[in-house]
């Protein structure tokens, strides 16, 4: 394996600027070693501070990871309902509960990892039904998965807003100091309440420091609000001098598809995308009820693609005689639960010549018709499709969709976002270019922790703003 390891080292340095640790076995995760040959070099470079914090996280994990002496001690104390004595173990943990759709899970896992990094904790990942089938282990010598015999795993499904162990409920009834709990459940899902939202306050963060086990359930990319906590500010700006690169680097550090999914990705890429002069991704996610395809959505896609010069117009009268040599080709990768959009766009470019003479091929890997979050093959295909979209040169995404956010962040692409249609009509303008490639936090708090009043958290600092696709959401720019 010396040959391919050498190539990997070169790619690792050139494409990722030293983001990944060494010491991986290439065969166990082909995507990590070969994705460099499918991607253009990123125009962003990780800060040397980020690299050094990642290397120290990796050694911290080796000391505190599953079944290390320190882990065993802290788990025993948890079983006994006690906090360990700091002289026995100083390891503290964030446990991420597998929850919600795959795009959401990728974003929340990145959020939990950054939170663990900021608070000197180790992140442990609940496998849920399929996490281990979807993602390679991101650390060379220690698993990031929560061991199957972890004492309170069987309660994860039941944790919700009303759980007595949730921070919000503990605050409603008493204080954290009085509660004497060996673990804390942090309910950060879309339906969280005002007490749960105090997670985003500096004083509350300080109170968590003595608790060894923080267990998080969320379906939100909560990183933008971490940038508004004063005690994290300095560290975050050293880690990410370019604010819009947070998910881009965390994503390329943590998320590599397993070999079977890498097969789905590379076979599709080689067959339909590799030879084109340019690759355009169009991600269609329709949140309306009823089965698509919808004419207004199709109109909107075409209006956006043509207005923004992503795809050429066609000559309706078929009068253009196209020379058969030196024609440029564009490959359009569409993703959607429905196959109807693909059929219509493909027909347009089959039935008519383009005014530029370009040849347009339109391809869609799957059309599952409806969402089934628990179906294993559907999530494999969903992950392959997010990854394929991230390999395109230009990307169009749908409003509100975490599926699109993952693709844009991994790809380092500022997408054109299709505005959300209202009353079954195509919005005008149909789309706009994103301010940054960062995902949007859909359910942020609007609270000033010091003054104890409501504020517009999208107007506090210049790099945390309201999202293009959701007026109350927050994103880094």
Of 146 and 382, which has the nearer Cβ to ligand GDP? 382
Least distance (Å) between residue 426 CB and ligand GDP: 20
DSSP per-residue string spanning 275-317? T-SEEEEEE----SSS-S--HHHHHHHHHHHHHTTSS--B-TT
| 390 sits near ligand GDP (criterion: CB under 6 A) | no
Of 165 and 285, which has the nearer Cβ to ligand GDP? 285
Sheet holding 278-283, edge to edge: 359-363, 329-335, 278-283, 394-398, 416-418, 431-433
Tell me, residue by residue from 396 to 435, as one string, x for binding to ligand GDP by CB under 6 A and - for no binding.
-----xxx--------------------------------
Query: Which residues, numbered 274-293, are part of the site for ligand GDP (CB under 6 A)?
Result: 285
Tell me, residue by residue from 310 to 349, as one string, x for binding to ligand GDP by CB under 6 A and - for no binding.
-------------------------xxx------------
Kindly state the DSSP code that residue 249 receives in the 8-state scheme.
H
| 111 sits near ligand GDP (criterion: CB under 6 A) | no
Query: Looking at 54-62, 86-94, 258-266, 368-376, which segment touches ligand GDP (CB under 6 A)?
Result: 368-376
d(CA 193, CA 367): 37
Binding ligand GDP by CB under 6 A: which of 108, 205, 378, 457? 378
**# chain residues binding ligand GDP, by CB under 6 A:** 21
Query: Looking at 220-228, 289-297, 316-324, 371-379, which segment touches ligand GDP (CB under 6 A)?
Result: 371-379
| 108 sits near ligand GDP (criterion: CB under 6 A) | no
d(CA 74, CA 410): 35
Non-local CB neighbours of 220 within 8 Å, separated by 6+ positions: 104, 107, 108, 111, 188, 189, 190, 441, 442, 443
Query: Looking at 35-43, 205-213, 343-351, 376-384, which segment touches ligand GDP (CB under 6 A)?
Result: 376-384
Phi, psi for 192 (deg, rounded to 5): -75, 155
Non-local CB neighbours of 160 within 8 Å, separated by 6+ positions: 166, 187, 189, 217
d(CA 404, CA 396): 8
d(CA 30, CA 47): 26
Contact 396, 304 (CB under 8 A): yes
| 379 sits near ligand GDP (criterion: CB under 6 A) | yes
d(CA 130, CA 26): 22
| 210 sits near ligand GDP (criterion: CB under 6 A) | no
| 385 sits near ligand GDP (criterion: CB under 6 A) | yes
| 382 sits near ligand GDP (criterion: CB under 6 A) | yes
Binding ligand GDP by CB under 6 A: which of 101, 128, 357, 427? 101
* Contact residues: ligand GDP, CB under 6 A: 100-104, 285, 335-337, 366, 368, 371, 373, 378-379, 381-382, 385, 401-403
């Amino acid at each position: 394996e010396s040959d391919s390891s050498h190539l990997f080292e070169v790619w690792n340095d050139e494409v990722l600027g030293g983001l990944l640790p060494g010491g991986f076995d290439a065969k166990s995760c082909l995507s990590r070693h070969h994705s460099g040959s499918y991607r253009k070099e990123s125009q962003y470079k990780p800060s040397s501070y980020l690299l050094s914090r990642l290397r120290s996280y990796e050694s911290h994990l080796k000391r505190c990871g599953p079944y290390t002496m320190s882990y065993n001690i802290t788990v025993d104390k948890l079983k006994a309902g006690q906090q360990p004595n700091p002289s026995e173990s100083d390891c503290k943990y964030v446990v991420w509960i597998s929850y919600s759709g795959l795009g959401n899970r990728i974003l929340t896992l990145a959020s939990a990892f950054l939170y663990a990094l900021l608070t000197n904790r180790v992140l442990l990942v609940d496998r849920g039904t399929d996490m281990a089938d979807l993602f390679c282990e991101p650390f060379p010598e220690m698993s990031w998965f929560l061991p199957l015999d972890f004492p309170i795993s069987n309660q994860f499904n039941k944790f919700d807003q009303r759980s007595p162990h949730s921070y919000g409920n503990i605050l409603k009834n008493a204080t954290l100091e009085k509660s004497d709990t060996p673990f804390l459940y942090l309910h950060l899902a879309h339906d969280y309440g005002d007490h749960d939202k105090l997670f985003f306050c500096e004083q509350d963060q300080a109170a968590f420091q003595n608790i060894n086990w923080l267990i998080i359930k969320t379906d939100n990319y909560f990183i933008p609000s971490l940038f508004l906590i004063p005690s994290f500010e300095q560290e975050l700006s050293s880690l990410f001098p370019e604010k819009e690169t947070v998910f881009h680097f965390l994503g390329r550090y943590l998320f590599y598809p397993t070999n079977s999914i890498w097969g789905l990705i590379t076979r599709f890429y080689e067959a339909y995308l590799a030879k084109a002069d340019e690759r355009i991704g169009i991600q269609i996610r329709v949140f309306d009820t009823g089965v698509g395809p919808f004419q207004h959505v199709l109109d909107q896609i075409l209006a956006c693609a043509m207005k923004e010069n992503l795809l050429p117009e066609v000559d309706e009268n078929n009068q253009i005689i196209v020379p058969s040599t030196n024609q440029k080709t564009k490959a359009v990768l569409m993703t959607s639960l429905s196959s109807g959009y693909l059929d219509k766009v493909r027909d347009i470019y089959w039935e008519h010549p383009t005014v530029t003479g370009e040849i347009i091929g339109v391809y869609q890997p799957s059309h599952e018709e409806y969402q089934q979050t628990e179906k294993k093959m559907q999530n494999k295909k969903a992950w392959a499709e997010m990854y394929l979209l991230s390999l395109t040169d230009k990307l169009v995404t749908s409003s509100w969709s975490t599926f699109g956010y993952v693709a844009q962040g991994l790809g380092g692409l500022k997408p054109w976002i299709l505005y959300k249609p209202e009353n079954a009509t195509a919005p005008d303008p149909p789309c706009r270019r994103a301010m940054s490639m960062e995902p949007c936090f859909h359910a942020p708090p609007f609270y000033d922790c010091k003054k104890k009043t409501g504020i517009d958290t999208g107007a506090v600092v210049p790099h945390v703003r309201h999202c293009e696709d959701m007026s109350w959401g927050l994103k880094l720019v």
